[in-house]
């Protein structure tokens, strides 16, 4: 069941009615309804993996109490590492086993030794990377005494499996979500209306922007050897907007859906393509994952304290792990590596926290500089996206090589019967709308909200891609 | 909560009104368009007289040159559409009858397309703008699973088939942007691009009785149209050319023309001839079934 499916359009109102009209009198009823809805939601992909979700929930729940109740540090460590090992072990088997087996065989082959790796024909359970990280953050917070363990199993289960965030985040923190689940939610019209606006805007991003861009980006990346420079350039830009529209659209729908149930989730995107440098980009892109890695990996490693060598090491570790989190492929690792290279000069020159404040533009040189920086940051981000999207690193390198060597910047007709330039106007309009609403959560609220809502609905109906259905990209992670 | 329910009702009302308005807009535009596809040309025309009409897939679109017939005093048009199957050819013929076309001869390609009773989604979508207007189209599609949604939910058909009749196509129709589909009386020539000919593999093909073909036969009989059903050429390296002989076992009236042009130089791909091949082939067909009406 996808957020942009008719199945979900029927599922959501049913859960909403049950939640506010049947279970509204107590927090227990509300949580039971949400947990049943969440398990149903998850089982729509593959009910067999429900056991994994329930097992992971039980494991984290029990280990958290063991850690809290342990008298000695060694016992606390034991339960912590047991829990981490099992969680990461599942992730490793389901997501990374084939990658490591094949890479090991390739390594042996390079030394002249031939081996046939045993590859598992496993399906990646949807959302495993997200709910594993959910659980890990909870366990680590318990270990460091930041929070108390949750005694109510239903509340904890809902924290792990809450359907708006179950399959593709945002990666929640127990400190933020659990307190909301422990009290009865009262209906708030303004919050629900904001949620609806966010859902509609998320759908615009997904079915209008991301899916349209996907059609063109796929045409370019799948046939890059026959594309001219302009098509290759536009292909990278189209993919940049595809992945942004897809993932931030998903996050908007998740946050909006959750608001309908009176629950706030962590913000995941904050107009990242208007960033003035790569450090700002990473503060605004997939925020819940970035802050997760910052808090549970980067800071424990020493963060930006210590010698220059340590700073470099930590930066590379966090970006490489972040890349690898996205998928078991060298392309994602290369993408992480490139971002580390972008980030490193800012860190070493202590300029990574330079652009923290918001900006306004006017008719002055400072504004020109800001716009130039935004364009440059977007350009280098697109360059890195080529590695993220390409099937192999060789493909990415060849793509870039052809982009610079071909030097033909003319219109090109794709095999999908579309011209390379056709989406530029749509993307320009999208940028304009996002720019004007960059201080808000979504662009619909405010003055003329009914008109803006009508335009968004018309855009979804008229410009949305429905015949060539495309899954949310981050479901595969 | 009441306030929110009212808000939802208003949103749903806006959604439904928008769907209705968009449906009217798109349909109106498509009803004005007759220069984008052979189907809009067909639907938005009436009372045409043809000596010969060609129907079929790309193997008609790229293979029959109406000029060769027209130069001999005949009035012909190539209604072949790339990717269409016999189901769509049958519907096109029904529409011709509905639009009061007078047709003396129908040349129908029946070769690879008789392997299946299936339809083409891409071509089906092109009929959708006229679903409400044409009883023939409604009747043709009344048994498809999504028929009720397509007919009764405003704008659903344009969303369902957005790749072919969505915003992009509507916009081009609105500004009357021409395609080359109707050039050369419907004939679309192909060019050879050199390189090695990749053989077509028909080993999994087997001709079956075809509902749409039999429907076409019945329509022709009812409307006094002389039906000439034929196979069209494929390169000689095609795997399992015996398939063409099996066609005659199922339908003995189908004429075998798969060997009418054999030299590789006449082919753009194994399944499609280039312009020179199309001219050679059309001449063979003309000389087999027709005589010149006038001296050019």
Gap from A185 CA to chain B (nearest CA, Å): 13
CB atoms within 10 A of CB A276: 18
**A399 close to A225: Cβ distance less than 8 angstroms:** no
Gap from A419 CA to chain B (nearest CA, Å): 12
pLDDT at A46: 79
Cβ-Cβ contacts under 8 Å for A227 (sequence gap 6 or more) = A220, A235, A402, A406, A412, A420
pLDDT of residue A117 exceeding 70: no
pLDDT at B14: 95
Q: Specify the pTM.
A: 0.88
- Name every chain B residue with its beta carbon within 8 A of the beta carbon of A20: 1
For B18, the closest chain A residue by CA position comes to: A458
Gap from B156 CA to chain A (nearest CA, Å): 9
Q: Is A326 a catalytic residue?
A: yes
φ/ψ region of B269 (left if φ > 0, alpha if ψ in -120 to 50, else beta) reads beta
Residues, chain A, total? 477
Which residue has tokens 């990717």? B83
Positive or negative, the CA dihedral A259, A264, A265, A271 is positive
Query: pLDDT category, A123, cuts 50, 70, 90?
Result: low
- Rounded to whole angstroms, the Cα distance separating A114 from A38 reads 46
pLDDT at A325: 83
Q: Among the residues of A168-307, which ranges form H helices? A: 174-181, 189-203, 211-222, 229-260, 278-284, 287-293
Separation in Å, CA A47 to CA A10, A42, A161, A210: 20, 7, 14, 28
ipTM confidence score: 0.85
Q: Does A457 touch chain B (CB under 8 A)?
A: yes
Phi, psi dihedrals of residue A437, rounded to the nearest 5°: -115, 20
Digitized pLDDT (tens) for each residue of chain B, 296 residues in all: 889 999 999 999 999 999 999 999 999 999 998 889 999 999 999 999 999 999 999 999 999 999 999 999 999 999 999 999 999 999 999 999 999 999 999 999 998 888 888 898 999 999 999 999 999 999 999 999 999 999 999 999 999 999 999 999 999 999 988 888 888 999 999 988 777 888 889 888 888 889 999 999 999 999 999 999 999 999 999 998 888 888 988 999 999 999 999 888 999 999 999 999 999 999 999 999 998 886 54
Copy the structure tokens of residue B39.
């189907």
pLDDT of residue A441 exceeding 70: yes
Copy the structure tokens of residue B126.
């092109």
Q: Does A191 touch chain B (CB under 8 A)?
A: no
Q: In what order do the strands lie in the sheet with B49-55?
A: B76-78, B49-55, B102-109, B226-230
Cβ-Cβ contacts under 8 Å for A324 (sequence gap 6 or more) = A96, A332, A333, A336
Looking from the CA of B141 toward its CB, the CA atoms found within 13 Å total 27
Of the listed A24, A134, A223, A326, which one is catalytic? A326
pLDDT at A472: 64
Decide if A457 and B14 are in contact by the 8 Å CB cutoff.
yes
Cβ-Cβ contacts under 8 Å for A179 (sequence gap 6 or more) = none
pLDDT at B203: 86
pLDDT at A217: 95
Query: Which residue out of A197, A452, A462, A468 would a mutagenesis test of the B interface target, given it has the greatest number of B Cβ atoms within 10 Å?
Result: A462
For chain A, counts of helices (H) and of strands (E): 20, 0
Tens digit of pLDDT for each residue in A453-470? 999 999 999 999 988 766
CB atoms within 10 A of CB B174: 15
pLDDT of residue A165 exceeding 60: yes
Q: Does B8 touch chain A (CB under 8 A)?
A: yes
Residues, chain B, total? 296
For A187, the closest chain B residue by CA position comes to: B1
pLDDT of residue A205 exceeding 70: yes
Gap from A465 CA to chain B (nearest CA, Å): 7
Kindly report the three-state secondary structure assignment for every residue of chain B.
CHHHHHHHHHHHHHHHHHHHHHHHHHHHHHHHCCCCCHHHHHHCCCCCEEEEEEECCHHHHCCCCHHHHHCCCCCEEECCCCCCCHHHHHHHHHHHHHCCCEEEEEEEECCHHHHCCCCCHHHHHHHHHHCCCCHHHHHHCCCCCCHHHHHHCCCHHHHHCHHHHCHHHHHHHHCCCCCCCCHHHHCCCCCCCCCCCCCCECCCCCCCCCHHHHHHHHHHHHCCCEEEEECCCCCCCCECCCHHHHHHHHCCCCECCCCCCCCHHHEEECCEECHHHHHHHHHHHHHHHCCCCCCC
**B156 close to B162: Cβ distance less than 8 angstroms:** no
| Closest partner CB to A458 (pick from B4, B11, B18) | B18
pLDDT at A5: 80
Q: How far is CA B203 from the centre of its chain?
A: 25
CB atoms within 10 A of CB B59: 21
Bridge partners, A136 (sequence order): none
pLDDT of residue A12 exceeding 90: yes
Q: Does A71 touch chain B (CB under 8 A)?
A: no
Cβ-Cβ contacts under 8 Å for B5 (sequence gap 6 or more) = none
pLDDT of residue A163 exceeding 80: yes
Mean pLDDT of A97-124: 71
Decide if B11 and A464 are in contact by the 8 Å CB cutoff.
no
Query: Which residue out of B11, B24, B83 would a mutagenesis test of the A interface target, given it has the greatest number of A Cβ atoms within 10 Å?
Result: B11
Mean pLDDT (chain A, rounded) = 89
| Closest partner CB to B22 (pick from A192, A461, A465) | A461
pLDDT of residue A190 exceeding 80: yes
The long-range contacts involving B239-242, CB below 8 angstroms and separated by at least 24 positions, are: B239/B199, B239/B200, B239/B201, B239/B202, B239/B203, B240/B201, B240/B202, B240/B203, B240/B205, B241/B202
- Name every chain A residue with its beta carbon within 8 A of the beta carbon of B167: 462-463
Query: pLDDT category, A199, cuts 50, 70, 90?
Result: very high
pLDDT at A474: 62
- Name every chain A residue with its beta carbon within 8 A of the beta carbon of B158: 462
For chain B, state the CA radius of gyration.
21
| Closest partner CB to B167 (pick from A187, A462, A467) | A462
Selected residues 69-128 of chain B with any CB under 8 Å from a CB in chain A: 125
Which residue has tokens 């109510």? A152
**A461 close to B18: Cβ distance less than 8 angstroms:** yes
| Closest partner CB to A193 (pick from B7, B163, B164) | B7
Q: How far is CA A253 from the centre of its chain?
A: 13
pLDDT at B110: 92
- Rounded to whole angstroms, the Cα distance separating A340 from A355 reads 18
- Name every chain B residue with its beta carbon within 8 A of the beta carbon of A467: 125, 160-164, 166
Decide if A193 and B8 are in contact by the 8 Å CB cutoff.
no
pLDDT at A121: 64
Q: How far is CA B220 from the centre of its chain?
A: 17
- Name every chain A residue with its beta carbon within 8 A of the beta carbon of B164: 467
Query: pLDDT category, A311, cuts 50, 70, 90?
Result: confident
**A43 close to A293: Cβ distance less than 8 angstroms:** no
Tens digit of pLDDT for each residue in A52-87? 889 999 999 999 999 998 888 899 999 999 999 999
**B242 close to B250: Cβ distance less than 8 angstroms:** no
Phi, psi dihedrals of residue B222, rounded to the nearest 5°: -70, -25
Rounded to the nearest 10°, the torsion over CA A333, A334, A337, A343 is -120
Selected residues 146-205 of chain B with any CB under 8 Å from a CB in chain A: 155, 158-164, 166-168
Decide if B155 and A461 are in contact by the 8 Å CB cutoff.
yes
């Amino acid at each position: 069941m996808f957020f942009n499916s008719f199945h979900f359009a029927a599922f959501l109102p049913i859960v909403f009615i049950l939640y506010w009209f049947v279970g509204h009198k107590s927090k227990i009823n509300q949580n039971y309804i949400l947990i049943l809805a969440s398990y149903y939601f998850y089982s729509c992909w593959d009910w067999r993996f429900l056991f994994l979700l329930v097992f992971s929930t039980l494991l984290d729940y029990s280990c958290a109490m063991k850690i809290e109740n342990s008298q000695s540090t060694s016992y606390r460590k034991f339960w912590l590492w047991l829990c981490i090992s099992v969680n990461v072990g599942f992730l490793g088997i389901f997501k990374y086993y084939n990658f490591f087996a094949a890479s090991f065989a390739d390594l042996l082959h390079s030394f002249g030794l031939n081996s046939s790796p045993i590859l598992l024909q496993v399906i990646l359970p949807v959302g495993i990377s997200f709910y594993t990280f959910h659980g890990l953050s909870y366990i680590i917070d318990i270990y460091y005494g930041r929070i108390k363990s949750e005694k109510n199993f239903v509340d904890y289960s809902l924290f792990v499996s809450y359907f708006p965030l179950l399959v593709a985040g945002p990666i929640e923190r127990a400190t933020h979500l659990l307190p909301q689940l422990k009290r009865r939610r009262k209906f708030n019209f303004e919050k629900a209306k904001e949620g609806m606006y966010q859902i509609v805007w998320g759908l615009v991003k997904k079915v209008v922007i991301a899916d349209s861009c996907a059609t063109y980006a796929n045409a370019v990346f799948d046939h890059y050897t026959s594309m001219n420079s302009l098509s290759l350039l536009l292909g990278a830009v189209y993919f940049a907007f595809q992945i942004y529209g897809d993932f931030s659209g998903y996050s908007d729908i998740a946050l909006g859906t959750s608001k309908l149930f009176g629950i706030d989730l962590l913000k995941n995107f904050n107009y990242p393509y208007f960033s003035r440098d790569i450090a700002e980009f990473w503060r605004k892109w997939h925020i819940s994952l970035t802050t997760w890695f910052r808090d549970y990996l980067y800071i424990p490693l020493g963060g930006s304290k210590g010698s220059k060598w340590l700073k470099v090491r930590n930066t590379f570790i966090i970006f490489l792990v972040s890349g690898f989190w996205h998928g078991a492929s060298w392309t994602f690792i290369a993408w992480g590596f490139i971002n580390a290279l972008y980030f490193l000069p800012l860190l070493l020159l202590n300029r990574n926290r330079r652009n923290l404040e918001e900006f306004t533009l006017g008719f002055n040189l400072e504004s020109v500089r800001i716009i130039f920086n935004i364009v440059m940051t977007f350009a280098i981000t697109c360059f890195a996206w080529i590695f993220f999207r390409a099937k192999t690193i060789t493909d990415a390198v060849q793509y870039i090589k052809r982009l610079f060597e071909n030097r033909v910047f003319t219109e090109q007709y794709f095999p999908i019967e579309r011209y390379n330039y056709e989406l530029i106007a749509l993307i320009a309009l999208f940028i304009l709308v996002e720019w004007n609403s960059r201080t808000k959560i979504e662009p619909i609220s405010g003055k003329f909200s009914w008109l803006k809502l009508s335009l968004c609905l018309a855009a979804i109906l008229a410009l949305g891609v429905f015949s060539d259905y495309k899954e949310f990209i981050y479901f595969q992670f | 909560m009441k306030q929110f329910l009212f808000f939802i009702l208003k949103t749903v009302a806006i959604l439904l009104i928008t769907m209705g308005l968009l449906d009217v807009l798109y349909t109106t535009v498509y009803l004005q368009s007759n220069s984008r596809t052979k189907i809009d040309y067909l639907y938005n025309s009436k009372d045409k007289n043809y000596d010969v009409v060609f129907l079929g897939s790309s193997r008609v679109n790229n293979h029959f040159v109406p000029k060769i017939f027209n130069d001999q005093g005949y009035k012909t048009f190539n209604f072949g559409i790339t990717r269409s199957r016999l189901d769509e050819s049958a519907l096109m013929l029904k529409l011709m009858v509905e639009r009061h076309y007078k047709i003396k001869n129908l040349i129908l390609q029946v070769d690879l397309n008789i392997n299946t009773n299936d339809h083409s989604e891409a071509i089906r979508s092109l009929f959708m703008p006229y679903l409400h207007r044409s009883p023939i189209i409604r009747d043709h599609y009344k048994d498809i699973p999504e028929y009720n949604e397509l007919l009764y939910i405003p704008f659903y058909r344009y969303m369902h088939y957005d790749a072919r009749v969505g915003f992009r196509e509507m916009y081009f129709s609105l500004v009357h942007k021409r395609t080359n589909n109707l050039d050369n009386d419907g004939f679309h020539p192909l060019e050879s691009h050199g390189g090695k000919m990749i053989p077509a593999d028909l080993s999994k093909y087997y001709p079956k009785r075809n509902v749409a073909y039999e429907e076409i036969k019945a329509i022709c009989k009812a409307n006094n149209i002389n039906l000439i059903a034929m196979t069209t050429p494929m390169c000689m390296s095609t795997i399992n050319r015996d398939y063409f002989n099996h066609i005659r076992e199922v339908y003995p009236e189908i004429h075998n023309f798969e060997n009418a042009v054999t030299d590789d130089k006449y082919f753009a791909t194994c399944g499609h001839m280039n312009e020179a091949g199309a001219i050679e082939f059309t001449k063979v067909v003309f000389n087999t079934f027709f005589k010149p009406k006038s001296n050019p």
